[in-house]
Amino acid sequence: MMDTVQAAQDTHDHHDHKPTGWRRWAYSTNHKDIGTMYLCAAVFAAIIGGAASMAIRAELAAPGLQFISDTQFYNVMVTAHGFIMVFFVVMPALIGGFGNWFIPLQVGAPDMAFPRMNNISFWLLAAALVLLLASAFVGGGAGTGWTVYPPLSNSDFHGGPAVDLAILSLHLAGASSILGAINFITTIINMRAPGMTFHKMPLFIWAALITAFLLLLAIPVLAGALTMLLTDRNFGTAFFEPAGGGDPIFWQHLFWFFGHPEVYIMVIPAFGVVSQVVSHFSKKPIFGYLGMAYAMASIGVVGFVVWAHHMFTVGFNVETRAYFVLATMVIAVPTGVKIFSWLATMWGGSIEFKTPMLYAMGFIFLFVVGGVTGITLANAGVDIAFHDTYFVVAHFHYVLSIATIFAIYCGMFYWLPKMSGRMYSEAAGKWQFWITFIGVNVLFFPQHFLGMAGMPRRIPDYPDAYAGWNMVSSVGAAISLVGALLFLWILWRTIVAGEKAPANPWGEEGANTLEWKVDSPAPFHTHDQIPELPDAGVHQPAE
Amino acid sequence: MTIYAKLFWGFIPAVYGLFGLYSGTALAQNDPQPWQMNFRPAATPVMEDIVEFHNLLLVIEGLIVLFVLGLMVYIVIKFNARSNPKPSKTTHNSFLEVAWTVIPVIILIIIAVPSMKLLFFMDKAPEDQVEMTLKVTGHQWYWSYEYVDEGELSFDSNMIPDEDIDISKGQIRLLEVDNRVVVPADTTIRLLMTAEDVLHNWAMPSFGIKMDTVPGRINETWFRVPKEKIGVYRGQCSELCGVRHGFMPIVVEVVSKQDYARWLVKAKNEFANVVKPVTVAQKQAAIR
């Protein structure tokens, strides 16, 4: 035992001693390299998922079927867009990417608790992406929507192997997430620097911890449901088949019991990133730190008991709907605490409006816009008017597509100097922000109007009266695409030709986390010695 | 046509839409309108209540968004690095923290009360008020209707394909069917809904109805259109049901009780010899 420990220390003695070539990446057990791979995978998947969304918006730019004459292909695009963006863009970027990079750096640990498991988490995700992409090319593809509702997803209506491949893909992605979650929880609970009690952890660490617990509790439910669907499809069981005593609604309960926590799995890490950025650029500690931490925790807990608000039209009895209305609205309270605490953090600050801060403020405002329409939809009475219309599409893209993608851009600009050791062009970054901000609003705001007028989701062609706002929306998609391409260009220019970044390019005054105490780029091995907590970095609990 | 030509011509109707000219059909006020930003006119008491409740929500939520926006604008002006070089170190204010927890709770209670009233009102028509029952069945990809009080009267309702649309008759592309559901005004009608194959959703925006049709289940809802609101109402399937999900519209024609009685006589004749729809099992047998 002593020998192995000694040997391990010897190999890690020299800074930046690392394997080279493809082995460095394929066999990597280094949290930073794995984080980088997660981010690269997210960018790669975002290009594919983005291409799917552009195909959808091109088709919907005008009434009639102009580009996509095969409506099954349209449904496959809708499905692929949803799966890819949820499981292969937002989660890998915010959780796998930023989580792997910055959890050890911020808690003062040399690496994740289980470095080899970290490696398999990533490669399971890569395999899952391959399976998902394969599913689009066999047997007509999976045109079920990301919700995979049976009976449409059972073997009578999706006979080929496409849905099976998608199910197996989600199984692998789920296994990857569970392993990652175990790793995060263990690292955060056991490997914090001395003195960093729970109530002194940075909010990004709080967010990662809560997200990891949500993953650990929600993903197994999805896995169970997917397995039942798989056996329904292939082995003659009838869990979701009325003719065999099953029930299609049963699937919806299981799916949304996972699916609703899933939306918090995507947005809570975004809360964490935005909290760090707002505090840093305002040069102030977070306002109401404990309230912020426990607001996230309570959103996580309540998120598990509201799932059926996705199912208000399935024919529940009225008392069930009443419960889910009230439970869902409760979530607005901790969310309000977060919004106002961010504003109070900025209040009295000395704010530098660098690109990450613009994205953080954009996140806060647009999350409020998406949040209030969430209150509308929580009321089962009016939800009848909006369910499955473009109003819902607008709502969840405001909170997910706009807000969480803003948090990803925010984190990328904020941490790019730390990850790459180079500075991006601030002017280009600001242009990128404003183009994206205008693009996404032109893209999604008119969809509220389409929803009110009654346009259903997931249709490849629409009555001519809806043409106007759809065209505006497609123009917005084109603008957002320019923003995304500009981001890729900035990323590329920064990595190949950016100026060298100092250890802390954003100023000492608001920096209260440990990653700014190490060089930029962060050395291959960090925190070999137990770090000292920076004074400014200690979030003081209420006393 | 090359893809470029398609791109060009594809935008023409959208450009026409800018001026509200496209579609050729003179749109009735119940139909979706170009550049519409609000609900369609309400035809039932339930939808009227939905509109009224939504107006309340819109005001509350609009004020919240404006409040947050105002705070952010103030912060940008007042607390940027140039105007305020020395940041404060305040991290707590118990009064504020209690206020921004309690005030949202109060707002939610203000919302919850009318929300619950609406929810319980729309749920089901009281048994003794139901005057007529209509059964709706969703199929891939059409609807069928059974007038259960009228013996054997039942028929299928298929979309009229684009090439057969006759705009001179006021038909609207994607929103027109061969057999409309005809119902009497001033009558409380109970809807029973199910599906034969996959999930569908029978949605009628002007009535405030959107209900999944689920194989193996029967869902219930209701509507009552007053005689001042006689007219044609259109909706679309609102649950992804496969490749022709966008092509199974719903058209309800609300007529006076006298016209309905006349229509019943005609319809019973017309649909007397209609072959019943094929079942899933038959379809699968045919495929094999």
In this complex, the residue of B35, B238, B284 whose CB is nearest that of residue A469 is: B35
Identify whether the C-beta of residue B195 lies closer than 8 Å to the C-beta of residue B138: yes
Share of chain B above pLDDT 90, in %: 76
pLDDT of residue B126: 77
How far is the C-alpha of B92 from the C-alpha of B96, rounded, in Å?
8
Q: Do B10 and A449 touch (CB under 8 A)?
A: no
At B6, is the secondary structure helix, strand, or coil?
Answer: helix
pLDDT of residue A5: 46
Identify whether the C-beta of residue A461 lies closer than 8 Å to the C-beta of residue B174: yes
In this complex, the residue of B57, B96, B241 whose CB is nearest that of residue A376 is: B57
Is the four-CA dihedral B196, B200, B206, B209 of positive or negative sign? positive
Beta bridge partners of B251: B234
| Each residue's pLDDT tens digit, B92-103 | 999 999 999 999
Residues of B in contact with A467 (CB under 8 A): 13-14, 16-17, 22, 34
Counting one residue from A and one from B, how many pairs have CB atoms under 8 Å apart? 316
Chain B interface, mutation test: which of A464, A470, A472, most B Cβ atoms within 10 Å?
A464
| Class of residue B258 by CB neighbours under 10 A (exposed 0-12, middle 13-18, buried 19+) | exposed
Which of these is catalytic: A31, A81, A321, A387? A81
The DSSP bridge pattern shows strands B181-184 and B249-255 to be parallel
- Chain B residues 53-92 with a CB less than 8 Å from chain A: 53-54, 57, 61, 64-65, 68-69, 71-72, 75-76, 79-81, 84-92
What distance in Å separates residue B55's CA from the closest CA in chain A?
10
pLDDT of residue B282: 60
For residue B235, the chain A residue with the least C-alpha distance is A454
Instruction: Note if A275 is an active site residue.
Output: yes
| Each residue's pLDDT tens digit, B128-154 | 899 999 999 999 999 999 999 998 899
For residue B77, the chain A residue with the least C-alpha distance is A351
The DSSP bridge pattern shows strands B219-223 and B189-195 to be antiparallel
Q: Do B91 and A452 touch (CB under 8 A)?
A: no
B270: amino acid identity, one letter = E
What distance in Å separates residue B217's CA from the closest CA in chain A?
8
How far is the C-alpha of A375 from the C-alpha of A394, rounded, in Å?
13
The DSSP bridge pattern shows strands B189-195 and B181-184 to be unpaired
Identify whether the C-beta of residue B229 lies closer than 8 Å to the C-beta of residue B254: yes
How far is the C-alpha of A169 from the C-alpha of A127, rounded, in Å?
8
Q: Report in angstroms the alpha-carbon separations of A307 from A256, A257, A323, A381, B126.
A: 5, 5, 11, 17, 29
Backbone φ, ψ for residue A334 (5° rounding): -60, -30
For residue B31, the chain A residue with the least C-alpha distance is A465
ipTM of the complex: 0.92
pLDDT of residue B273: 66
Q: pTM of the predicted model, to two decimals?
A: 0.92
Q: Do B13 and A64 touch (CB under 8 A)?
A: yes
State whether residue A151 sits within 8 Å of chain B by CB.
yes
Identify whether the C-beta of residue A56 lies closer than 8 Å to the C-beta of residue A447: no
| Class of residue B76 by CB neighbours under 10 A (exposed 0-12, middle 13-18, buried 19+) | middle
Q: Do B91 and A288 touch (CB under 8 A)?
A: yes
At A474, is the secondary structure helix, strand, or coil?
Answer: helix
* Residue A308 DSSP class: G
First CA to last CA distance, chain A: 44
Would you give per-residue pLDDT tens digits along chain A (543 residues)? 444 444 444 444 445 667 888 999 999 999 999 999 999 999 999 999 999 999 999 999 999 998 898 999 999 999 999 999 999 999 999 999 999 999 999 999 999 999 999 999 999 999 999 999 999 999 889 999 999 999 999 999 999 899 999 999 999 999 999 999 999 999 999 999 999 999 999 999 999 999 999 999 999 999 999 999 999 999 999 999 999 999 999 999 999 999 999 999 999 999 999 999 999 999 999 999 999 999 999 999 999 999 999 999 999 999 999 999 999 999 999 999 999 999 999 999 999 999 999 999 999 999 999 999 999 999 999 999 999 999 999 999 999 888 999 999 999 999 999 999 999 999 999 999 999 999 999 999 999 999 999 999 999 999 999 999 999 999 999 999 999 999 999 999 999 999 999 999 999 888 889 999 999 999 999 998 888 776 544 454 443
Residues of B in contact with A344 (CB under 8 A): 93, 96
B165 CB-near residues (< 8 Å, 6+ apart)? B171, B172, B173, B176
State whether residue A316 sits within 8 Å of chain B by CB.
no
Q: Do A248 and B11 touch (CB under 8 A)?
A: no
State whether residue B137 sits within 8 Å of chain A by CB.
no
Distance of CA A369 to the CA centre of its chain: 18
pLDDT of residue B278: 57
Identify whether the C-beta of residue A154 lies closer than 8 Å to the C-beta of residue A241: yes
pLDDT at B1 over 50: no
Structure tokens at B92: 């707590």
Neighbouring CB atoms inside 10 A of A386's CB total 25
A169 CB-near residues (< 8 Å, 6+ apart)? A83, A128, A129, A131, A132, A135
Identify whether the C-beta of residue A220 lies closer than 8 Å to the C-beta of residue A188: no
Instruction: Note if A12 is an active site residue.
Output: no
For residue B82, the chain A residue with the least C-alpha distance is A350
Identify whether the C-beta of residue B189 lies closer than 8 Å to the C-beta of residue B252: no
Instruction: Note if A517 is an active site residue.
Output: no
How far is the C-alpha of A222 from the C-alpha of A373, rounded, in Å?
27
Structure tokens at B86: 């020395």
Beta bridge partners of A456: A389
Rounded (10°) angle between helices A332-346 and B94-123: 150
Instruction: Note if A260 is an active site residue.
Output: yes
Q: What is the mean pLDDT of chain B?
A: 88
Which of these is catalytic: A38, A101, A256, A264? A264
Q: Do B87 and A284 touch (CB under 8 A)?
A: yes
pLDDT of residue B11: 52
Identify whether the C-beta of residue B69 lies closer than 8 Å to the C-beta of residue A366: no
| Each residue's pLDDT tens digit, B64-119 | 999 999 999 999 999 999 999 999 988 999 999 999 999 999 999 999 999 999 99
What distance in Å separates residue A28's CA from the closest CA in chain B?
41
Identify whether the C-beta of residue A312 lies closer than 8 Å to the C-beta of residue A380: yes
Residues of B in contact with A289 (CB under 8 A): 91
Backbone φ, ψ for residue B199 (5° rounding): -70, 135
pLDDT of residue B284: 60
In this complex, the residue of B23, B193, B239 whose CB is nearest that of residue A465 is: B23
Instruction: Note if A414 is an active site residue.
Output: no
